[in-house]
Amino acid sequence: MGIAALVTGAAILFFACENNLEKIKAFSSPENLPIAEAKNFESLLTDSGEVRFFIKAPTLLQFDNEGQSYFEFPDGIELIKYDENKEIISSITANYAKQFEKEKKWEAKNNVVATNAQGDTLKTEHLIFEEEKGKIYTEEFVRIIRPDQIITGIGFQSDQSLQNWRIKDPKGTIYVSTENTGQSGNAVTEEPDSAKTSGSNPAENKLEFK
């Protein structure tokens, strides 16, 4: 089926859940028929004998239309990435995903949720991963949930491990107190963009892509 082409290198940062035919039509012409199909697909992917990824999808479709080969996950994907010690370092789920084989590009749509080893959680409706550039990005609204803050904005860029990221147009940050205040619930404060100073923007985490 050519499944090995699905997940070369770090191409594995994407996706899970359920979808329906109407959502699929936005990404794939209904006249196109898959050349291969797999149900309840699960696979452990290895590199030099070491387990690197676990991928799970209710449905996997392979297409080859007019020279364009791609894989489609109309019912979603769950992807877990491991380090050399078999510790989970990231995971991504989404309701729909598509991988363009020749371009080495992934797209995830609808309820995209990505987490890294630090516990940061990204939520958005559209995420793109380019393998060769090692870059993950979106131009849509994003919400980053961290242990002590929630950051929102438009546009997002990250390295492929989701360790170094930034929000292009931050809209605001809500700080969540983790201390015991003696009251039910956590205290929160919101910092408007106008109050942020250069070099202290919580929406930028180490890395800025040029």
Q: What is the pLDDT, as a whole number, of residue 205?
A: 60
The CA-atom distances, in angstroms, between 13 and each of 9, 176, 177 are 10, 28, 31
- pLDDT tens string 74-105: 999 998 888 888 888 888 899 999 988 888 88
Q: What is the pLDDT, as a whole number, of residue 187?
A: 34
Mean pLDDT of the chain: 75
Query: Does domain 3-205 sit in CATH 2.60.450.10?
Result: yes
Within the chain, strands assigned E span 36-47, 50-65, 68-73, 77-82, 88-94, 96-100, 105-116, 121-130, 135-146, 149-159, 165-176, 188-191, 204-205
Distance between CA atoms of residues 138 and 168, nearest Å? 10
- Ranges of each domain in the chain: 3-205
* Closest C-alpha to 5, from 83, 69, 80: 69
Q: What is the pLDDT, as a whole number, of residue 204?
A: 61
Q: How confident is the model at residue 125 (pLDDT cuts 50, 70, 90)?
A: very high
- pLDDT tens string 70-79: 989 999 999 8
Percent of the chain at pLDDT > 70 equals 69
CA 173, chain centre distance (Å): 21
The mean per-residue pLDDT over the stretch 113-123 comes to: 91
Please name the residue that has the structure tokens 């109309």.
74
- pLDDT tens string 32-56: 789 999 999 998 878 778 887 788 9
* Closest C-alpha to 205, from 159, 173, 174: 159
Q: How many CA atoms lie within 13 A of 186 on its CB side?
A: 12
Q: How confident is the model at residue 12 (pLDDT cuts 50, 70, 90)?
A: very low
Distance between CA atoms of residues 115 and 118, nearest Å? 8
Q: What is the pLDDT, as a whole number, of residue 24?
A: 47
- pLDDT tens string 157-184: 998 788 889 999 999 888 876 554 444 3
Question: Which segment of 10-14, 61-65, 143-147, 167-171 scores lowest on mean pLDDT?
Answer: 10-14
Distance between CA atoms of residues 6 and 4, nearest Å? 5
The CA-atom distances, in angstroms, between 88 and each of 22, 53, 81, 119, 198 are 34, 9, 6, 11, 34
Residues 6+ apart with CB under 8 A from 91: 78, 79, 80, 81, 114, 115
Q: b/e per residue, 130-164, with b = 16+ CB within 10 A?
A: bbeeeebbbeebbbbbbeebbbbbebbbbbbbbbb
